[in-house]
Amino acid sequence: MESRAIVSYQTPSGQRVEVVKQTFSSVRKRPAKRVAFVSGLHGNELEGIYLCHLLIRYLKNLQRTQPKAFQGEVHIYPAVNPQAISAGSRLWPFFSQDINRQFGGDNGNSLPAQSASELLDDLKSSVDIAVDFHASNLHLKEAPQIRILDGLHKNLLPLAIQCNVDLIWVHPASPMFESTLGYNLNQARVKTLVIETGVGLRLHRKFADQLFQGMLNLLHHTGVLVDTGSLPKIDPPVIAHPSQVALLQSRYAGLFVGHSDLKKNVAKGEVIGEVLSATDGEVLQEVTAPESGFLFTVREHPLVYPGAPLARIALRDEGCP
Ligand SMILES: [Zn+2]
């Protein structure tokens, strides 16, 4: 494994901060494929950082014991926004900027914008396929999923189904995504999958283990790794197009109390939770599944206002228009 700092700068107090990339080279002169794993664009999303740890640990051992397994190249960028990660915050501290809204276009000369541009250039010049790991915030718990912008799905679905996620959500496109890393890499013909999982500032071992198997499968499927013994076991995902996702929202301000965890087969009418009045003992809203399907998002944060998201369900085909 070779380590390289792709971004390096000094803080006002004199510390040096580096964005590190770990490279596992191919035994071939022309690598089969070059795959990147990126995590930590948002410093409060820790699942991907843990997953990169698992991948680096596995690949280091594999390189020692079976160097010929590496027919392609793997580049891992485990913590691309180090200062936000140190603070456990979504935004880059001091600048209060979301680095995942700094890609492409002219974003000026700020340190987050320069850092984004160096990361994007490095990825464009070194890989064919990228996986960008994100977690949810503290409000919502998400089942391991890949979100693909509508329009890119024909290109990305064949790779996405190799990743052992529970759901692939083909998401409506919006101008908001045009400054993200995933969008800009896909524009530059680096096929990029954006994974969303878990809860902000938390780790779920089960989700990480599931995604770890998925990433190993992706590396085998793309020919980057060969002959490592038994192939990872993966399950096919649910695929939901924009019209197949129902969002349930709070109609009131109050406390949301969940009655259900994430669940593959929620039945029409099943109670997902309740919104309760803080002051007069009333149940304001019983939150039930409008159709049967896969309950893939559930609210974790109890405080709600009108419009707050409570749950999402990927509806079964028969329930869709
Ligand atoms: Zn994120």
**Domains of the chain with CATH codes:** 2-239 (3.40.630.10), 243-319 (2.40.50.100)
197 Cα: distance to centroid of ligand 1 (angstroms) = 10
Cα(244)–Cα(43) distance, integer angstroms: 31
248 Cα: distance to centroid of ligand 1 (angstroms) = 22
Alpha-carbon Rg for the chain in angstroms: 21
- Single out the residue of 126, 37, 122, 112 nearest to residue 82, CA to CA: 112
48 Cα: distance to centroid of ligand 1 (angstroms) = 10
132 Cα: distance to centroid of ligand 1 (angstroms) = 9
- Chain position carrying tokens 């809860």: 199
Task: Give me the helix-helix angle, 205-221 and 47-65, nearest 10°.
Answer: 50
135 Cα: distance to centroid of ligand 1 (angstroms) = 6
For residue 268, give every residue at least 6 positions away whose Cβ sits within 8 Å of its Cβ, in sequence order, or none.
289, 290, 291, 292, 319
242 Cα: distance to centroid of ligand 1 (angstroms) = 20
Tens-place pLDDT, residues 230-270: 888 899 999 999 999 999 999 999 999 999 999 999 999 99
Q: What is the pTM of this model?
A: 0.96
317 Cα: distance to centroid of ligand 1 (angstroms) = 29
Predicted local distance difference test score (pLDDT) of residue 320: 43
Predicted local distance difference test score (pLDDT) of residue 319: 41
- Which three-class secondary structure state does DSSP give residue 27? coil
Note whether 212 and 55 are within 8 A (CB). Answer: yes
44 Cα: distance to centroid of ligand 1 (angstroms) = 8
Predicted local distance difference test score (pLDDT) of residue 321: 42
Q: Which two tokens stand for residue 203?
A: 């780790």
291 Cα: distance to centroid of ligand 1 (angstroms) = 29
Tens-place pLDDT, residues 109-152: 899 999 999 999 999 999 999 999 999 999 999 999 999 999 99
Beta bridge mates, 22: 3, 76
Beta bridge mates, 313: 246, 295
Q: Where are the alpha helices (DSSP H) in the chain?
A: 47-65, 82-87, 111-126, 153-160, 181-187, 205-221
Cα(294)–Cα(220) distance, integer angstroms: 28
200 Cα: distance to centroid of ligand 1 (angstroms) = 9
Q: Which ranges of the chain have pLDDT less than 70? A: 317-321
Cα(56)–Cα(210) distance, integer angstroms: 16
Cα(207)–Cα(209) distance, integer angstroms: 6
Predicted local distance difference test score (pLDDT) of residue 318: 52
145 Cα: distance to centroid of ligand 1 (angstroms) = 13
